Structure 1
Amino acid sequence: MEIAALAPLLVVVLFGALAAGLWVGFALIAVGLVAMIAASSAPVGLVFATKIWGGLTVWDLTALPMFIWMGEILVRSRLSADMFAGLAPFTARLPGRLLHVNVMGCALFAAVSGSSAATTATIGRMSVPELTARGYDTRMVIGTLAGSGTFGFLIPPSIILIVYGAATEQSIARLFLAGVLPGLMLAALFSGYIMLWARLNRSRMPEAEPPVDRRKAIGAAARLLPVVGLIVAVIGSIYAGVASPTEAAVIGVTGALILAAITGGMSWATFTQALRSATITTCMIAFILAGAAFLTVAMGYTGIPRQLAAWIAQMGLSQYALLAALTVFFIVMGMFLDGISIVVLTVSIILPMVTQAGIDPIWFGIFLVLVVEMSQITPPVGFNLFVLQKITGQDIFRIARHAAPFFGLLVLAVAILSAFPQIALWLPSTMLTR
């Protein structure tokens, strides 16, 4: 079948399967089967079995269930509450005051969970009732949380960066390093916006609370030490070259179990709940990766990626024009698919044209994650919006309006990263990784 006819057929099969309620992984397999049958005489069964097995027996993917399990343990422990209490005294003198706890709390929790939804849910359960009771503007409480919850995708150890690295055969340790400075930049942008908003909307800010006694502030800060220690143990071991991402994930799970037990947040019931939830999430991602692995080789047989890359090259687009087009494309995709599905579905088609345009695949991974973060706060399929809807009971489109300024800041972050790619590439190029 001609490519001009095959490409629309595959799009129809994909969205038809998704609309029918088929799981994303099986929808990808269905598209791959149609592509193989229509475009190749190769033995479909043999190719399917080989790629499914090869796609899931990647050593780097071992880190995935471990980091997911670590996040599930921490969600059920008291460490998240201690983290909130420990951050509050440090924001008392900043314009916007406790609104910064959402940003800082999400940044810290993202560094030990790797999940955007888990970060939003964990910090949201504490901050939304607390900040609302203290008189903070509900729109800013929800907006800052929706935006900051996306840090779970970018700040290492990021589950989606592990997926991208496995799908593109890029170093996960280098991707983790590349995500650090962009993550800090995004947190600075969010905090800067909060300070500006607080200066311009003084009437919507609650009365300043009495200053915290220095001794109490020090005591609160001490409650941050377990979380900070876990971050140093996990991320520091990778950056120092002591452990691979997989080994660091084991360190993280062990540390999370010990800390949860010490703080009294771990029982046999919570242990089994965390393990069961991590298993379900890992299996979901594994199905998607398996389907994507088969679809990738099937697309190779069709020749669509090569033709698309050649077509883009003939258009003579500059790198900036190509990135602008991809940004719009991924934002639209994000309205209908979750972040991991977007990455595994598109990377086999997009990456050849990206590398042909001279774009570093490590940098593109960070760019892709930033753009996919936008999908977490765009309706109708925005996972952070669903999480916040459950917490606040508000309409999902109202929550999306509250998050709109932070969507704009994500776009600004993409522009800054495109103009200054060394923000992502400096650490991987200067620090020793394994």
Structure 2
Amino acid sequence: MISDPLILTIVILVVMFSLLLTSLWIGVSLILTGIIGMLIYEHHLPPIISIYDKIGDLLASSLYDALNSWSLAALPMFILMGEILYKSSISTKLLNGLKPWLNYIPGGLLHVNVAACSLFAAVSGSSAATTATVGKITLDELKKRGYSKSIAMGSLAGAGTLGFLIPPSLIMIIYGVLADTSIGKLFIAGIIPGLLLATLYSVYIMIISKIDKTAEPKVKESFTLKQKIDSLKDLVPILLLITVILGSIYGGIATPTEAAALGVLGSILLALYFKSFNYEIFKNAIMNTVVTSSMISFIIAGAVFLSQVIGFLGIARAMSEFIIGLGLSPLVLILLIGVMYIILGMILEGVSIVVMTLPIVLPIILLSGFDALWFGVFLVFMVEMAQITPPVGFSLFVIQSISGEKIETIVKATFPFFVLMVVTVAIITFFPEIVNYLPNKMIK
């Protein structure tokens, strides 16, 4: 039996990662880790209560508490909306609508990746769906027109992660549920940082296009005023859907869950308008939504159980007291936590990182004076980095499957955009009002 919380922490981390390495489901691994942690702890329970009774009670209550959440109902709705948009031809319409308007900027159609990912992220909420959808359309097209394939892949990898930051964001919903933070405020808080990151990507593309003459073709495609106006018929309906979803949340008309339902209805109407909706598309979208939602819900349930176990064992309190006792400044603390997340991002995917670390990290963050809302956006940036850090960067594998390039070539192309993410994280850390400005302004 072990009673020291720090030794318990080490044992639990070793058990958790050992179980994950066996390829067990993440939810099962988290639940088993919690059960093992309670079994090895030196308990001081009343004689009439056995440790098995306590584990059963804690497991039952945590599973119920984790999934009995109205906010969590937004998750399958936003996933379904993204699936419908992904499987219909709406993403192609989005690209066709953007081309005439971005062609004259330095870097030309390379900006389509950034703009298309930003817009698709605002109706999808999924980084993987954003990267795959936009990438399937743009990579071959940009290569045929003489644009640098390296910059095209790098910008796609970087901008594809905006699906986590620009609302609606699935990671923000998960964080909001686990951290008991307003999902509506999280959505609003992600807007300015998301636009800032997208702007930095575009500025980099413009600069590199001026330096590297092979980045774009010498002779650009030209578009008439009529072609520009005609392209609006593809662009305006998508912008209207984004406005309805986000406007209903920010205007206080609908909760994020209600807005998600509106988004599903809007995506179906949009697919019907573009004549790209049928029973087969809807059936596949529903099936994929059920699979994805069930997987994420099971992971959340396991994370909540492990979180309660960690509280029961006194690990969170002991870790917080230990780190605060080191006398680290808040900036040094957040730097160390950021480095930890980057390392974890090399071996784990985003949802796993959030649910496994939050029970331990969040109490430390709050005791150090950081705001839960700000940390939510910071954590989303860390998850974005995990998407493009080898060897388990999911976006890297998505791009590899689309482009057929070697993974090391994609990593090299993506590195400048990873650096721009780090720069953006530094900016919001030194100027947290960038995150808090809109929530404070729009929600009193």
Instruction: Identify whether the pair has TM-score above 0.5, normalized to the shorter chain.
Output: yes
Q: Give secondary structure in 2 for the equivalent of 1:359.
A: coil
Distance 2:19 2:159 in 1: 33
Residue 37 in 1 paired to residue 43 in 2?
no
Per-residue deviation, 1:393: 1.3
Pick the aligned partner of 1:89 from 84, 92, 100.
100
Q: 1:112 maps to what in 2?
A: 123
Distance 1:125 1:203 in 2: 23
Per-residue deviation, 1:151: 0.1
Q: Give secondary structure in 2 for the equivalent of 1:223.
A: helix
Which residues in structure 2 correspond to 1:37-186 (within 5 Å)?
37-39=39-41, 40=43, 41=45, 42=51, 43-186=54-197
Pick the aligned partner of 2:12 from 10, 13, 18.
10
Greater CA drift, 221-230 or 204-213: 204-213
Distance 1:432 1:12 in 2: 42
Which residues in structure 2 correspond to 1:264-279 (within 5 Å)?
264-279=275-290
Q: Give secondary structure in 2 for the equivalent of 1:95.
A: coil
Distance 1:283 1:208 in 2: 50
Q: 2:48 maps to what in 1?
A: none
Q: 2:425 maps to what in 1?
A: 414
Q: Give secondary structure in 2 for the equivalent of 1:202.
A: coil
Distance 2:179 2:155 in 1: 32
- Structure 1 segments of 4+ aligned residues over 4 angstroms from their partners: none
Per-residue deviation, 1:413: 0.4
| 2:349–2:394 Cα contact (<8 Å) kept | yes
Q: 1:394 maps to what in 2?
A: 405
Deviations 1:358-409 (A, max 9, x none): 1010000001101110000011111101111110112223211110000000
Q: Give secondary structure in 1 for the equivalent of 2:214.
A: helix
Deviations 1:267-300 (A, max 9, x none): 1111000010111110110110010010000011
Which residues in structure 2 correspond to 1:328-407 (within 5 Å)?
328-407=339-418
Greater CA drift, 310-319 or 163-172: 310-319
Which residues in structure 2 correspond to 1:173-322 (within 5 Å)?
173-322=184-333
Distance 1:399 1:281 in 2: 27
Distance 2:221 2:293 in 1: 46
Unpaired runs of 5+ in structure 1? Answer: none
Deviations 1:131-154 (A, max 9, x none): 011111111110000000000000
Per-residue deviation, 1:8: 2.1
Q: Give secondary structure in 2 for the equivalent of 1:118.
A: helix
How many residues are paired up? 433
Deviations 1:166-221 (A, max 9, x none): 00100000000000000000000000000010010013421232421001011112
TM norm structure 2 = 0.96
Counterpart residue type for residue 376 of structure 2: G
Distance 1:205 1:241 in 2: 44
| 1:181–1:423 Cα contact (<8 Å) kept | yes
Residue 427 in 1 paired to residue 438 in 2?
yes
Over aligned residues, Cα RMSD in angstroms?
1.0
Q: Give secondary structure in 2 for the equivalent of 1:206.
A: coil
Per-residue deviation, 1:112: 0.1
Q: 2:29 maps to what in 1?
A: 27
TM norm structure 1 = 0.98
Deviations 1:250-276 (A, max 9, x none): 000001011112211111111000010
Unpaired runs of 5+ in structure 2? Answer: 46-50
Greater CA drift, 64-73 or 210-219: 210-219
Distance 1:365 1:6 in 2: 27
Distance 2:124 2:286 in 1: 14
Q: 1:210 to 1:125 in 2, by over 3 A?
A: closer
| 1:154–1:370 Cα contact (<8 Å) kept | yes
- Aligned identity (percent) is 45
Q: Give secondary structure in 1 for the equivalent of 2:106.
A: coil
| 1:65–1:282 Cα contact (<8 Å) kept | yes
| 1:240–1:432 Cα contact (<8 Å) kept | no
Distance 1:77 1:426 in 2: 36
Q: 1:326 maps to what in 2?
A: 337
Per-residue deviation, 1:90: 1.3
Distance 1:217 1:392 in 2: 29
